[in-house]
């Protein structure tokens, strides 16, 4: 029998979810939005036999879904997700997990107390290139990772809520890069020094650029430089990456296949050691982006396999975000606690 869900939030990102829900044969019983007309518009657009509603509790009581898809704005994630968990539903929710660490901890506690799964859709994990980087690093060809660098520079004129946020880059975008760092290398955050700033000529109200140095587990250092207010010579949305190990380096930039070099002869006494190209993994991810996250939820429902972005893990990526904003505010090193 098809799994049943209720979708909450019928805004822009819901367009990335209704296709995969249909492809996987999920029964969308209701679409809930504060603006019921937005819910109805998406139901019409995707030809769903769902009910448009504005009352979440009522929708859960009436339709008894197996899981809830939380596509609301970050400020609503805690309320929507805890309401769904306490009503006995599993939840897959959009990133970022929450608008504060306190809210995120409340959500993790609600998952534990209800015995229901809460996972975050960290969509960039389900991407063939990122899987190739992860597997190539794990192959050991560059040795043990010591240093990670990511640059992200785009000039983006969004209009809307991002123009008014205090920390649009770190809160809304860098969460993807911080999570990718953890995904691709397996390193977890320890502490951070960060500077957030709003470059001259910026069209944003808040600090839209940041330089962050993270101390990661095993002594790894991750340096992140980013801006959404950088005209020209754009990086990719995924960022441009250099991952250095004690035996080689892997580069991943402009969304091209990763390339790398490793030391061919460790015993060679020359100034530069002889190098050889790395064999880069060529895996493909069958279901990319939101489809990948949805499929991990469905796999959990069918087999019990815990998704990689289950809340106890994903909160570590969120902690990098709030560690960075706190360090920038205090202008000092901040230890990253969960």
Ligand X SMILES: NC(=O)c1ccc[n+]([C@@H]2O[C@H](COP(=O)([O-])OP(=O)(O)OC[C@H]3O[C@@H](n4cnc5c(N)ncnc54)[C@H](O)[C@@H]3O)[C@@H](O)[C@H]2O)c1
Nearest-10 crossing angle of helices 101-114, 74-86: 10
The two tokens of residue 184 are 């691709």
In the region spanning residues 205 to 244, those forming contacts with ligand X, defined by CB under 6 A, are none
Q: Which is nearer to ligand X, 111 or 122 (CB)?
A: 122
* Residues 179, 314 contacting (CB under 8 angstroms): yes
The neighbouring-strand residues paired with 201 are none
71 near ligand X (CB under 6 A): yes
CA distances from 297 to 44, 121, 291 (A): 25, 10, 10
Minimum distance between the CB of residue 155 and ligand X, rounded to whole angstroms?
Answer: 18
Please give the size of the binding site for ligand X, defined by CB under 6 A.
Answer: 21
CB-based burial, 206-245: b 16+ in 10 Å, e otherwise:
bbbbbbbbbbbeeebebebbbbbbbeeeebbebbbbbbbb
Minimum distance between the CB of residue 154 and ligand X, rounded to whole angstroms?
Answer: 14
The contact pattern for ligand X, residues 14-43, with x = CB under 6 A and - = no contact, is ------------------xxxx--x-----
The contact pattern for ligand X, residues 153-192, with x = CB under 6 A and - = no contact, is -------------------x--------------------
Minimum distance between the CB of residue 110 and ligand X, rounded to whole angstroms?
Answer: 16
Q: Which stretch binds ligand X (CB under 6 A): 73-81, 150-158, 178-186, 278-286?
A: 73-81
Q: Which of 292, 264, 294 is nearest to 277 (CA)?
A: 264
301 near ligand X (CB under 6 A): no
What residue spans of the chain are helical by DSSP H?
18-23, 36-45, 56-63, 74-86, 101-114, 128-138, 174-185, 290-303, 311-330
Minimum distance between the CB of residue 75 and ligand X, rounded to whole angstroms?
Answer: 7
99 near ligand X (CB under 6 A): no
Residue in 63, 95, 116, 125 binding ligand X, rule: CB under 6 A: 95
Nearest-10 crossing angle of helices 74-86, 56-63: 40
Q: What is the contact surface with ligand X in residues (CB under 6 A)?
A: 8-13, 32-35, 38, 71-74, 76, 80, 94-95, 123, 172
């Amino acid at each position: 029998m098809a799994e049943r869900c209720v979708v909450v939030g019928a805004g822009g990102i819901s367009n990335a979810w209704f296709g995969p829900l249909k492809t996987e044969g999920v029964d969308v019983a209701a679409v809930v939005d504060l603006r019921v007309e937005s819910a109805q518009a998406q139901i019409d657009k995707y030809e769903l036999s769902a009910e448009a509603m504005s009352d979440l509790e009522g929708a859960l009581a009436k339709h008894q879904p197996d899981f809830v898809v939380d596509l609301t704005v970050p400020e609503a994630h805690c309320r929507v997700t805890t309401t769904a968990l306490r009503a006995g539903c599993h939840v897959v929710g959009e990133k970022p997990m929450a608008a504060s660490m306190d809210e995120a901890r409340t959500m993790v506690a609600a998952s534990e107390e209800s015995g229901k799964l809460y996972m975050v859709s960290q969509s960039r994990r389900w991407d063939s290139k990122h899987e190739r980087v992860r597997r190539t690093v794990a192959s050991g060809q560059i040795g043990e990772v010591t240093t990670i660098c990511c640059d992200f520079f785009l000039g983006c004129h969004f209009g809307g809520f991002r123009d008014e946020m205090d920390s649009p880059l770190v809160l809304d975008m860098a969460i993807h890069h911080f999570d990718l760092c953890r995904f691709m290398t397996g390193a977890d955050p320890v502490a951070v020094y960060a500077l957030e700033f709003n470059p001259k000529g910026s069209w944003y109200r808040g600090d839209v650029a940041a330089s962050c140095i993270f101390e990661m587990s095993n002594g790894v250092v991750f340096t992140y430089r980013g801006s959404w207010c950088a005209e020209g010579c754009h990086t990719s949305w995924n960022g441009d990456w250099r991952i250095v190990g004690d035996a080689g380096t892997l580069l991943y930039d402009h969304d091209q296949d990763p390339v790398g070099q490793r030391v061919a002869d460790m015993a060679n006494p020359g100034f530069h050691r002889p190098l050889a190209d790395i064999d880069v993994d060529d895996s493909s991810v069958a279901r990319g982006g939101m489809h990948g996250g949805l499929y991990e939820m469905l796999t959990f429902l069918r087999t019990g396999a815990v998704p990689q972005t289950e809340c106890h893990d994903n909160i570590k990526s969120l902690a990098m975000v709030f560690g960075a904003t706190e360090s920038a505010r205090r202008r000092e090193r901040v230890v990253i606690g969960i």
